[in-house]
Amino acid sequence: MKKILVLSASPVKDGNTTTLVNWFAEGARSEGARVDIVATAFLKYKTTGCTSCRRCQAIKEYACVVKDEASPVLAKMAEVDVIVMASPLYFFGASAQLKLVMDRMFCLYKWDNAAGTMTTPLKGKRLILIASAYEDVGLDALEKPFVLTADYSGMSFESLLVPHAGESGDVKTRAAIRERAVELGRRAAQDE
């Protein structure tokens, strides 16, 4: 059974991002996957992103030393098979609600600068991006950091980019998008 962690990063509880995530989860669960959805906009944080204290580099575990509601999310990223990040397009990038968690992912990497090496428990996992935009401008810019993250981490990558999604909740009327999201969920639950 595949374990899938979805980071849903919209501050709107029933908007386009949440709808796409729910459709994705429906498809994945239909194939027997265990899907955990975390609404990153509603986590309680002690800090806004990584503080660059680098204390995570001095411990054996791949863990952030700042203990708040992001800590178990980061730990779960190391344990699952598939990580899904879902965000609306905000000023040509992912929402700040997702970026807060992404910056804290620093703790999931260990660098040995002298040896020129890096290790991460993310290697071999699958990263999926789900993103929507009101228009058709900017999704390519939003996608780029996720492509780079997957490549750097040794993860496979796939995305569902939805231009012209309309205002919050409008995507619910788009049957073809629903089919694509459900199918992506099914594929995510299967072996690559």
pLDDT of residue 121: 95
**In terms of Cα–Cα distance, which of 47, 132, 48, 137 is closest to 87?**
132
pLDDT of residue 93: 77
pLDDT of residue 192: 65
pLDDT of residue 189: 94
Q: How confident is the prediction along the chain (192 residues), in pLDDT tens digits per residue?
A: 899 999 999 888 888 899 999 999 999 999 999 999 999 989 898 888 888 889 999 999 998 989 988 999 999 999 999 999 999 888 887 888 899 999 999 999 999 888 988 999 999 999 999 999 888 878 999 999 999 999 999 999 999 998 877 678 788 888 898 899 999 999 999 976
Tokens of 34: 């265990």
Say if residue 6 is exposed, middle or buried (CB neighbours under 10 Å; 0-12, 13-18, 19+).
buried
Interatomic CA distance for residues 75 and 71, integer angstroms: 6
Rounded to two decimals, the pTM is: 0.92
Domain, as residue range, for 34: 3-188
Q: How far is CA 92 from CA 96, 136, 151, in A?
A: 12, 11, 21
Structural domains counted in the chain: 1
**In terms of Cα–Cα distance, which of 126, 129, 48 is closest to 85?**
129
**For position 176, which CATH number holds?**
3.40.50.360
